[in-house]
Structure 1
Amino acid sequence: MSGAVFPWRSANRFELLIDGPRFFPQMLVGIARAEHQVDLELYLVEAGACAEAMVQALVHAAERGVRVRCLFDDYGSLAFTLALRKRLTDAGVQLRFYNRLSWRRWVRNLYRDHRKLLLIDQATAVVGGTGVTDEFWTPGQDTADWHEVMVQINGPLVLDWQALFDRQWHANAARRAWKPATHFGLPRLPKVPATGPGLGRVAYADARQHRDILQSLIRALNSSRQRIWLATPYFLPTW
């Protein structure tokens, strides 16, 4: 495996949040309670009621002195209006866009950031598959057009998610892909621990690390004893 790998860590707490009406209010409360730092990395961000609520929460956090950094995919945020972007930056939010689209980049325009991650005070991580669009959540409604899940994490794993965000953030400023430092992470997938309270491991994908998630899934399937539950919107042949 060409990229660095995160280890298993114990003593974490996980909370499964099902659908936007469940996880968006909880994410907004977390941002409202942030004291030092909020980091948000997203692929799909579009103007609408959902984005308005998120922008308002981020602006309020920045105005009370919290360091707020947003890393949005440039293609996925094409419908995130200039007015909303200006509200963020005027409030002091640091806003960057992953892999700015340019005809000069040709096929490199296909390199996109699909990570969906919220980090609060290096103590809480919320990760999953949502975008900030009205299809995922419209404030005031208890149902959503699109089904999605997020997981809230507290514990040692949060710092691994933070390291992943920080490296992507700094690499994006230099307009290059992130290449892990030699001292970062493990050289290969670790064995799955037999038992342990609150076990978890950060698995990620990028240009140099596209098989971590897949191999982790296969290991989990191979170690199953009684039952396998698999929920995914994508189940296609690969190479």
Structure 2
Amino acid sequence: MAGAWRDANHFQLLPEAARFLPAMFEAVGAARETLLIELYLMESGRLTTMVIEALLEAVSRGVAVRLMLDGYGGMGLSTADRRRLEEGGVTLRWFNPLGLHSLARNLTRDHRKLVVVDGRVAFTGGFGAVDDFLEAWYEVAVRIEGPVVADWEHLFVSLWNSPVTRGGKGDARSSGPLPGVSPSVVGGMRGRVVWGQGYRYQAIRLSLHRRVDAAHRRIWMCTPYFVPTLSLRRRLARAARRGVDVRLLLPGDDHDHPGVRYAGQRFYGRLLRAGVRIFEFQPSFIHAKFSLVDDWVSLGSCNFDHWSLQWNLEANQEVDDADFATDVAALFERNFAASHEVRHDDWARRPRLQRFKEWLFGTLDGMLTRLR
């Protein structure tokens, strides 16, 4: 599903933890009324300790803090840290805790990443509260102001108050703009929220497909888990053949799930033959998920794999603004320069072991798609 396109927003691109973590902590430190936080990954460690301290400090100022974690992704949060949050006044809820019900239901996870402060400022991207985001993983976020923040807040509130969450008592309600704040005049950028939930809601995928089909100049995509559907592969190939600059920014050897990488690499050959350029990022594992089609940007939690497209709850911020697209394009260019470009002739000569891994993990991926 998708929210309405809204004008008069301001979006700030925040590449790398050195930029988005300080910005988020600053916003949390300035909260006066409400903090709504939704994360997939949260596990005890240095970053989580910093987050807990910031949330408890907010509670001490009278801020109502709501923290929603995925029932699987949050399993690394220690009992001591859970107790510290709850005893400190943070209301903690869990999305779809694992249980002895159907496998398909256990596979449905809340993969969104969201921070909303006082209904005025929001952040989304691919971040989580695990120490890998401090140094080891490359990530990107966006800071959001303006009317579209209310849509992010509504998305959080709807899930918080739904029967699939368990935990602390108390509903979450939209705070609305604070007195004296006019979120309709913060900037001149156009944007909307899009979200998905498996095969029931495919707005993120369908929106991307429409943009790819209509692209004139460029289609640049970054995703850490690239196992694209046949429909998307065909669209990318067709765009490249009609002269659109199609590039994929993907992880290199440094990957947290190498099997997913091999499963996606089985599609390299046909894409390269069609003229798609593929870049594998070298400095670290690139966990970011963002796309640029002409002057349209989509950035958020959604990967191009079966987990995101079949089971997960996902949400992205779409921006239709030339200035913001220029910032995103510059980020892509820096990352392309730090990547190894996979050439068709070299790929055709890859070793047999590499081909076997592609076949093996591709077969497992195919089995996975039939579990729904």
Is TM > 0.5 for Structure 1 vs Structure 2? yes
- Report the AA paired with residue 21 of structure 2: F
* 1:2-151 equivalence runs, <5 A: 4-137=1-134, 144-151=135-142
Q: Is 1:203 the counterpart of 2:194 in the alignment?
A: yes
How many Å separate the matches in 2 of 1:162 and 1:221? 29
More helix as a share of residues: 2
CA shift at 1:101, angstroms? 1.0
Give secondary structure in 2 for the equivalent of 1:58. Answer: helix
**In percent, how many aligned pairs have the same letter?**
41
More strand as a share of residues: 2
Q: 1:12 to 1:210 in 2, by over 3 A?
A: same
Q: 1:99 to 1:66 in 2, by over 3 A?
A: same
Question: Which of 149, 153, 159 matches 2:144?
Answer: 153
CA shift at 1:92, angstroms? 1.0
Deviations 1:108-159 (A, max 9, x none): 111100000000000011001011111001xxxxxx2101111110001100
Q: Is 1:164 the counterpart of 2:155 in the alignment?
A: yes
How many Å separate the matches in 1 of 2:136 and 2:160? 31
How many Å separate the matches in 1 of 2:16 and 2:86? 29
How many Å separate the matches in 1 of 2:117 and 2:163? 21
Higher relative contact order (CA 8 A, sep 6+): 1
Unaligned runs of 5+ in 2: 167-186, 231-372
Question: Is the Cα–Cα contact under 8 Å of residues 126 and 153 in structure 1 kept in the other structure?
Answer: yes
Question: Is the Cα–Cα contact under 8 Å of residues 98 and 172 in structure 1 kept in the other structure?
Answer: no
How many Å separate the matches in 2 of 1:133 and 1:174? 22
How many Å separate the matches in 1 of 2:151 and 2:50? 28
CA shift at 1:86, angstroms? 1.1
Give secondary structure in 1 for the equivalent of 2:189. Answer: coil
Question: Is the Cα–Cα contact under 8 Å of residues 96 and 164 in structure 2 kept in the other structure?
Answer: no
How many residue pairs get aligned? The number is 210
Give secondary structure in 1 for the equivalent of 2:192. Answer: coil
CA shift at 1:88, angstroms? 1.0
35-44 vs 96-105, which deviates more? Answer: 96-105
Deviations 1:192-230 (A, max 9, x none): xxxx94111101111464310011112222333222221
Q: 1:15 to 1:172 in 2, by over 3 A?
A: farther
Question: Which of 208, 229, 234 matches 2:225?
Answer: 234
TM-score normalized by the length of structure 1: 0.83
Who is 2:216 aligned against?
225
Q: 1:172 to 1:220 in 2, by over 3 A?
A: same
Question: Is the Cα–Cα contact under 8 Å of residues 19 and 147 in structure 1 kept in the other structure?
Answer: yes
